[in-house]
Amino acid sequence: MTKSYYLLPDDENYVSKAELKKEVKELQAFAEQLVNLGKSQKKRLSASDELQAAFILADKISNKPDALRRHMQFITKQLKDEDLDKLRAEYERIMSPNLASDKVMKKLEKTREKLLKNGDSAINELIDLHPSLERQKLRQLVRQAKKEVEKEQPGKNYKELFQYIKTETGS
């Protein structure tokens, strides 16, 4: 979407100067966050070659404040041509790597709870998805873990079921 200063305020595509300035400030802040990443982290971004080169130059001139300030304006301008949603998602992934592993753990916990609740039908579904699982071992772990849960003492088998699912499903 191109923005123009020449649109009238009652035009549906009108964007005020204040809104434009706000967007540029947000883009500048994001550019600064990207420049402050480590070299290896910047390389993992799916930025264009021009933006990657701009990051390298920013590292070189980081001890020259005026040059860096001007260069940051250039980087901000370059960001307008990038896929910002994708870059922001990658930045978030870099800044919080535990988030992905938390999602995996929650998925494994849901699978374990589903196995304990639904028994054989859930075991069959899981084996269909992951044929490397041993049906007999999985049934035994589910049965023993279910007994522990019923006694309100989740213990060894409850944890072992989780570990087995984790290792055998490759999660």
Using one digit for the tens of pLDDT, what is the confidence trace for 74-89? 999 988 888 888 888 8
Find the radius of gyration of the CA atoms of the chain: 26
Question: 55: how many CB neighbours lie within 10 A of its CB?
Answer: 21
**The CATH number of 17-95 is which of 1.10.60, 3.20.20, 1.20.1740, 3.10.450?**
1.10.60
For the stretch 9-55, pLDDT in tens is: 666 777 788 888 998 899 999 999 888 888 888 888 888 889 899 99
pLDDT tops 80 at residue 137? yes
| Model confidence pTM above 0.85 | no
The answer to whether 17-95 and 99-169 have equal CATH topology is: yes
DSSP assigned state of 132 = T
E strand or H helix at 137? helix 135-150
pLDDT tops 90 at residue 70? yes
Q: Show me where the domains of the chain are located.
A: 17-95, 99-169
**The CATH number of 99-169 is which of 3.30.1490.100, 3.50.50.60, 1.10.60.30, 1.10.3720.10?**
1.10.60.30
